[in-house]
Structure 1
Amino acid sequence: MAEGAFTYNGGKVDPGETQNIRYGISETYMGDPVRIPVTIVNGTEPGPTAFLSAAAHGDELNGVEVVRTVAHDWDHADLHGTLVCLPVLNVPGFLAQQRYLPIYDRDLNRSFPGSETGTSARRMAHRIFENFVSPCDLGLDFHTSTRGRTNMLHVRADTRKDEVERVAKAFASNVVIGGSGPDGTLRGEASASGTPTVTIEMGEAHRFQRELIDRALAGVESVLAEFGMRRTSAVRWPGWRTVIDGSSAKTWLRADTGGLVDMHHDGGDLVREGERVCTITDPFMTESETVRAPFTGLLVGVLENPLVYPGNPLCHLVELDTSTRHALERDLSRDAPA
């Protein structure tokens, strides 16, 4: 619980103060500094410290706009606590518009909590983690799907931990996928070290998708309300929610043949067991493979690039319990054109 200045190696931000910082985390081949943008907003009233981060993968842009908007467009007169806004973690990847760090193709989001004496990626991760993640009481890390695929907005979190589950549910997405995640992820390592953190997946790489950005901003506002950081805001309820845990069926459907894919559903659609999800055809359209749903569920992620080799992922399908399925069906019927 923050009651005074937010401090980092090289400076501090007093209550009632906002600072925009370009913080050095590495050096280029020429010895020039690699700096990440950081905005720290310290409210006049005491409260929790929360970090918002994006672009750990340099081509994932939706979260960049979420974090920038919170930092620079929101009115923080009512802020109780401190916001640490990190819109671009992977600056080298962001500049090159590629997913990984150009240095040896390292994944920054498999390098946390980092090391002072490790690889380039781990040294960068260490400086970010120690200065701007460890001091926080909770965190939201924004991602998109990788190139050629798209995700509906959902949260990934280790829901076995009560405080992490609290953050996940406060974000008010319809879908929460449980699990600790791979080693070295920001949300996993932060949660393990005492800063409950979730990943928000939303949309696709290389673009801003305004509808998703606006929904994510509403989720941020809900989280800050839940933790008493915005007293004039309210915690949201998404209307229906499913938490996918270890007992739930979930699978990536994969292509068994190469070819061109015709997807018959979009992300967020409900598909029933045995229903046709997509069709794969050869260039002459003389041979085709129909891919069907192995169980009734929700399409969380789908292919955007229609070209596949055998083994390429087509869609991410998660099982829904009966009550959640009925709630989703009611939503879909309300949204259907008259």
Structure 2
Amino acid sequence: MNDDGAFTYNGGKVSPGETQNIRYGISETYLGDPVRIPVTIINGKKPGPTAFLSAAAHGDELNGIEVVREVAHEWDLTDLAGTLVCMPVLNVPGFLAQQRYLPIYDRDLNRSFPGREASTSAKRMAYRIFKNFIEPCDIGLDFHTSTRGRTNMLHVRADMADVKSHRLAMAYGSNVILDSEGPDGTLRGEATRAGVPTITIEMGEAHRFQRTLIDDALAGVESVFAEYGMLEQTAVRWPGWRTIITGDREKTWIRADVGGIVDMHYERGALVHEGDRICTITNPFKNDNIVVEAPFTGLLVGILENPVVYPGNPLCHLVELGETTRRVVELEQTPPNGDAT
């Protein structure tokens, strides 16, 4: 951000009170045509922090696209204090092909940040995105879904040892925060290490818009804007209960030990107790049932959607809950007739 409050990028400038919709070139096709990402920059009339919202670093993760589009183009941002950099589709080649990775050599854009100008195609793309639209920001929200065949409850991933990331993660107001450093090459990890605290918001599954999750994610964005004074009419939200899964808490991907067809007995976000039957794996004749039990009491953050597995395929992502949180969740998930979910 310049001293005059303008947001600048290589090739343009957005002054306070202005909005620009641009298609920014980050690469070229085999035919020499530009590969361009859509970017909306809203620079408020009032001073404030600069925040980026990004989605579809994996081209088939669609929920976040709608979150970023609605903030940029449907919210009343007349009184915005600060600047928003909205990037609904980072991985344009993957989005066009409706696949997770860049079609070029099957590379993962979200393992290519901060990028390098004279390197692979993926790292060149990542460099231009990072240098122009990530580094100038103060905070970042990066939206993802589970990979195809699985689904996640809405949760946040953040490096809670980083004070600024901790503040951002708490402000988002999700029930579950998974505490970890972002892996090398991820947008979250590299932005945070570069001094731009960034959190990942995981929600739902690939290849679809899921309205309930999108609305919940938008409420989290409102909460962040309230925390950082970007929109005065909003308020920081308390989700009712919260658990932060740190290194001293059990968490595991439970994997299939046999191949077969899976009958999942719980939805994402469900509480399961130690010994509960999470799912059953059967053969085509249903005469060989393998029961998969919960190894400890916890929350199903992610579960399988595609009901067929090989040995070693993930079935669910289970995280441990503390006793107090468990009691709150039990009350929340118990229907009025008293039957367990």
* Distance across 2 between alignment mates of 1:321 and 1:181: 24
What residue in structure 2 maps to residue 296 of structure 1? Answer: 297
What residue in structure 1 maps to residue 149 of structure 2? Answer: 148
**Structure 1 SS opposite 2:325:** helix
What residue in structure 1 maps to residue 98 of structure 2? Answer: 97
Is 2:333 the counterpart of 1:311? Answer: no
What residue in structure 2 maps to residue 47 of structure 1? Answer: 48
Between 56-65 and 326-335, the greater mean CA deviation after superposition? 326-335
What residue in structure 2 maps to residue 187 of structure 1? Answer: 188
The CA deviation at 1:100 is 0.2
Matching residue's letter, 1:243: I
**Are the aligned partners of 1:27 and 1:34 in contact in 2 as well (CA < 8 Å)?**
yes
**Structure 1 SS opposite 2:57:** coil
**Structure 2 SS opposite 1:51:** strand
Q: TM-score under structure 2 normalisation?
A: 0.97
What are the superposed Cα offsets for residues 39-76 of structure 1, whole Å, 9 maximum, x if unpaired? 00000000000000000000000000000000000000
Matching residue's letter, 1:201: E
What are the superposed Cα offsets for residues 265-288 of structure 1, whole Å, 9 maximum, x if unpaired? 010000000110000001111111
**Structure 2 SS opposite 1:327:** helix
**Are the aligned partners of 1:139 and 1:196 in contact in 2 as well (CA < 8 Å)?**
yes
Is 2:57 the counterpart of 1:56? Answer: yes
What are the superposed Cα offsets for residues 161-208 of structure 1, whole Å, 9 maximum, x if unpaired? 011011111110100000013210000000000000000000000000
**Are the aligned partners of 2:158 and 2:198 in contact in 1 as well (CA < 8 Å)?**
yes
**Are the aligned partners of 1:78 and 1:232 in contact in 2 as well (CA < 8 Å)?**
no
* Distance across 2 between alignment mates of 1:276 and 1:140: 36
Q: What is the CA RMSD across the aligned residues, in angstroms?
A: 1.2
**Are the aligned partners of 1:63 and 1:87 in contact in 2 as well (CA < 8 Å)?**
yes
* Distance across 1 between alignment mates of 2:181 and 2:254: 22
What are the superposed Cα offsets for residues 208-234 of structure 1, whole Å, 9 maximum, x if unpaired? 000000000000000011011111110
The CA deviation at 1:334 is 6.0
Q: Gaps spanning 5+ residues in structure 2: where?
A: none
**Structure 1 SS opposite 2:196:** coil
What are the superposed Cα offsets for residues 83-108 of structure 1, whole Å, 9 maximum, x if unpaired? 00000000000000000000000000
* Distance across 1 between alignment mates of 2:334 and 2:285: 38
Equivalent pairs, count = 338
What residue in structure 1 maps to residue 172 of structure 2? Answer: 171
* Distance across 1 between alignment mates of 2:337 and 2:198: 35
Alignment of 1:206-217 (within 5 A): 206-217=207-218
**Structure 2 SS opposite 1:317:** strand
* Distance across 2 between alignment mates of 1:175 and 1:39: 30
Matching residue's letter, 2:77: H
**Are the aligned partners of 1:19 and 1:39 in contact in 2 as well (CA < 8 Å)?**
yes
What residue in structure 1 maps to residue 234 of structure 2? Answer: 233
The CA deviation at 1:337 is 8.6
Matching residue's letter, 2:243: T
* Distance across 2 between alignment mates of 1:259 and 1:46: 57
What residue in structure 2 maps to residue 65 of structure 1? Answer: 66
Q: Gaps spanning 5+ residues in structure 1: where?
A: none
**Closer, same or farther in 2 for the Cα pair 1:29/1:247, shift >3 Å?**
same
Matching residue's letter, 1:29: Y
Matching residue's letter, 1:87: P
Between the aligned residues of both structures, percent identity stands at 73
**Are the aligned partners of 2:182 and 2:190 in contact in 1 as well (CA < 8 Å)?**
no
What residue in structure 1 maps to residue 114 of structure 2? Answer: 113
